[in-house]
Structure 1
Amino acid sequence: MSIRTKAMVWGAALLLLMLGAGLYAYGKLEPSRHFRQTEIPVLATPDTAGADAAGNGSAAGPLTAKAGAGVAAKVDSGGSTGGSGSAGSIGSTGSIAPGSIGPAGSVGSAGNAGSAGNLGSAGFHGPGTSAKGSSQRPQPAGFNILILGTDARDREASRTDVIMLAHVDPEQPLVNLVSIPRDTRVPLSGIGYTKINHAHALGELHGDTRSGTKSAVQAVSNLCSCTINYYIKTDFEGFEHFIDTLGGLDVHLDAPVKLTYAYMTLPAGKNHLSGAEALDLVRERKSLPGGDSGRQANQAMVLKEIIRSVIQPKNLKNLPSLIEQVREDVLDTNLRDADLISLAWLAKDLKEDQFRYAQLPGQSGKAWDPLVKNELYYWVPDAPAWEKLAKELLQ
């Protein structure tokens, strides 16, 4: 066999090998195929078992006594919803009855969200695992990913400053993102009605950061009356470092944004942000006309731009190293590497109308908080409005 013939044979073999690898990757990682073949974990389902205990408003117990002081020290009693309290006082006993927060009255309880390491009947499971008795295969309607951003500090229990629920449908494809105000008023077992971002801190005080994740996951599942399949949790430092790894982030602002604590103003139009500037933007509330509502919108916008940046050709070729960086910068997630690659693949092909954003409907109000022993401003969910919205975004 001549050298030329051998070269042609080896070239053909290499081409077939590359084609086979491509077909294998398509069969395994293409989103609609990947998540259809993957066992979708079930981390939490709505837990109504603790409705009576959680609905007492100021239920006393060892959790309140032990955790109250630690969490109270981290709470801004002035409130952070940006609301004026025009909705009126909710009342010290709480006028929101158990079952009125979630759609069709099916949520009513935070279940065991506030208790150490207890996620209720759903349990908490690692990558690629699922709850006992739960479906082992994804349904056509897709799955839900909870995104948490914590204000983690050394030697302190951390609250969730960012809470977003993403519904992903690989078949459509589409991604629906719902922002949940950190001040949303929910019942936590053994506590009563308090802010949803306290769930994570309470869990940490009774265990570790994983216990905090469990509590936050269950609290959101109860609030939204939905199953949580995946979660991603990061802190300020990890978020900032990942943005810098991407080479910064391009965002478009409709109006100038004053960054209160950075002592600078981002102009309207296109801005290229460093990790520190992006962090200041997603945390900014005081200078925004909509207060916390404006902050949530900026958080969703930044998340969208991060996805766009990751799937740019210059970054796609470095996807393996980016995934490794994600593992370093993200505190905790049950998404596997193959899941992350498949999600990046899905995001690459999304059109503008296939990425939708909404905020948890409700109104601001003021009420007594049994955890911090003070009146706080809350975001009070509008149950009928959420039921309607959930049918559009989570199904």
Structure 2
Amino acid sequence: MDKQRKQGIKRKSHWKRAMAYTGLGLAALVIALGSVGLYEYHRLQPQNHFKNLPAVGLTSSNSSSSSTTTSKQSSQSESQPAGSFNVILFGSDARPSGGNISLSDAESHTDSIMLVHVNLKTHQYNVLSIPRDTRVYMPGFGNTKLTSVQLLAQSQQGPQKGTVYAVQLISKLVGVPINYYAETNYWGLQAMVNSLGGITMDLPFPVTLTHAWYPQDEGLHFTAGPHFLNGKLVTEVVHERYSVPGTDYGRQQLQVAALKGIAKSVMSARNATKLPSLSKSLSQYLMNTNMSTQDVISLAIGIKGNFSAQQIHYYQVNGTSEVLYNDALKANDDEVVLDMNQLHQIIQDHFTN
């Protein structure tokens, strides 16, 4: 065999070995990436992800302490099983300056408050509306409306800490730890619904817009039943209270109808491919939240394929409307005094397991 031929064979041998090593390296890389993916998927399973969660509000060990005076998070109550947690949903009346569509105007009154108990093991979702005019005691200010707590706290502590303060005070009011919070306003809700291509709201009663955000919508009438609405009209409907039964209590029911419509749309087949982008775009819809992208993805994994609107159970707590002195505002105003016995019974029956 001549020298040139031997060198050619040697080069081929080196090339084959190089390709073999490269193939093994690529295989190892694929396996490693696959392992990371499998690990991540396993870690994001709700029973793994939603356990030993921090609580923004009170726990069983500090329920008698002044937990509403600090933004420091505490440990989760041991009574909460894995895959079970509580979320506060805030609707803010913050409106952009100069008509700009933005989430930037942070200091605001709380327009709507919903406590949601999520159980991803049983696939049951319990929702309690808390009247925004509920009379509460705010350390340093005295008795005031719940709707004013966030504004007062934000004016002293800033947007994020002010929201956390409101969450902690609500946690003390209802008597359970709150693990997550999410706050949006008119523009955020409108953008969220539009990103889904609209939602179907099943209205529990007829609605006529009596104080619309847009003049052209004033007087629009919607019959009871399902309506497919864009973001603009959803925000108009959930803002209405004067034409609906029970005023604020009726508006609470409209807000839950929107929540059901959003949840059903998010979990629909037509929006399945949007879940990753939606979960990564929370800042477009939310003013304040402590939910991460991983939290949202894990929640979607837990709900996907198992969701129906019938799994959402809605509760309201009775209260009496009274004209009382508001220490924070230094004036009399209309406030709601909750039936605390009923509140505690609802919480015990539907928000603790």
Q: Is TM more than 0.5 here?
A: yes
Q: Could you tell which deviates more after superposition, 285-294 or 259-268?
A: 259-268
Query: Given the superposition, is the C-alpha separation of residues 297 and 40 from structure 1 closer, same or farther in structure 2, using an over 3 Å criterion?
Result: same
Given that 1:367 and 1:377 are in contact with CA atoms closer than 8 Å, whether structure 2 keeps it comes out as: yes
Q: Which of 71, 80, 83 is residue 139 of structure 1 equivalent to? A: 80
Following the alignment from structure 2 to structure 1, what is the Cα–Cα distance between the partners of residues 335 and 315? 19
Given that 1:253 and 1:270 are in contact with CA atoms closer than 8 Å, whether structure 2 keeps it comes out as: yes
Query: Given the superposition, is the C-alpha separation of residues 21 and 353 from structure 1 closer, same or farther in structure 2, using an over 3 Å criterion?
Result: farther
TM-score, normalization by structure 1:
0.71
Query: Given the superposition, is the C-alpha separation of residues 173 and 18 from structure 1 closer, same or farther in structure 2, using an over 3 Å criterion?
Result: farther
Which residue is 2:271 aligned to? 315
Given that 2:141 and 2:328 are in contact with CA atoms closer than 8 Å, whether structure 1 keeps it comes out as: yes
Which residue is 2:19 aligned to? none
Q: Secondary structure at the match of 2:343?
A: helix
Q: Which of 45, 51, 71 is residue 58 of structure 2 equivalent to? A: 45
Following the alignment from structure 2 to structure 1, what is the Cα–Cα distance between the partners of residues 204 and 77? 44
Which residue is 2:50 aligned to? 35
Q: Which of 279, 291, 297 is residue 335 of structure 1 equivalent to? A: 291
Q: Which runs of 5+ in 1 are unaligned?
A: 1-11, 50-105, 126-130
1:361 is displaced (CA, Å) by: 2.9
Which residue is 1:294 aligned to? 250
Query: Given the superposition, is the C-alpha separation of residues 124 and 273 from structure 1 closer, same or farther in structure 2, using an over 3 Å criterion?
Result: farther
Following the alignment from structure 1 to structure 2, what is the Cα–Cα distance between the partners of residues 236 and 271? 19
Following the alignment from structure 2 to structure 1, what is the Cα–Cα distance between the partners of residues 202 and 291? 29
Q: Which of 346, 351, 356 is residue 302 of structure 2 equivalent to? A: 346
1:23 is displaced (CA, Å) by: 5.1
Letter in 2 for 1:252: D
Larger fraction in helix: 2
Q: Secondary structure at the match of 1:319?
A: helix
Following the alignment from structure 1 to structure 2, what is the Cα–Cα distance between the partners of residues 168 and 19? 31
Given that 2:89 and 2:115 are in contact with CA atoms closer than 8 Å, whether structure 1 keeps it comes out as: yes
The answer to whether 1:382 aligns with 2:328 is: no
Which residue is 1:199 aligned to? 149
Given that 1:112 and 1:189 are in contact with CA atoms closer than 8 Å, whether structure 2 keeps it comes out as: no
Following the alignment from structure 1 to structure 2, what is the Cα–Cα distance between the partners of residues 222 and 249? 34
Q: Quick one: higher RCO (CA 8 Å, sep 6+), 1 or 2? A: 1
Following the alignment from structure 1 to structure 2, what is the Cα–Cα distance between the partners of residues 275 and 383? 35
Q: Could you tell which deviates more after superposition, 198-207 or 166-175?
A: 166-175
1:359 is displaced (CA, Å) by: 1.4
Which residue is 2:8 aligned to? none
Identity %: 35
The answer to whether 1:357 aligns with 2:317 is: no
Q: Which runs of 5+ in 2 are unaligned?
A: 1-26, 98-104
Query: Given the superposition, is the C-alpha separation of residues 144 and 156 from structure 1 closer, same or farther in structure 2, using an over 3 Å criterion?
Result: closer
Which residue is 2:139 aligned to? 189
Q: Secondary structure at the match of 1:197?
A: helix
Given that 1:148 and 1:164 are in contact with CA atoms closer than 8 Å, whether structure 2 keeps it comes out as: yes
Which residue is 1:91 aligned to? none
Q: Which of 161, 166, 188 is residue 216 of structure 1 equivalent to? A: 166
Query: Given the superposition, is the C-alpha separation of residues 390 and 365 from structure 1 closer, same or farther in structure 2, using an over 3 Å criterion?
Result: same
Equivalences, count? 312
CA RMSD of aligned residues (A): 3.1
TM-score, normalization by structure 2:
0.79
Following the alignment from structure 2 to structure 1, what is the Cα–Cα distance between the partners of residues 226 and 33? 40
Deviations 1:202-242 (A, max 9, x none): 01111321122022112201210111111111121111111
- Greater CA radius of gyration, 1 or 2? 2
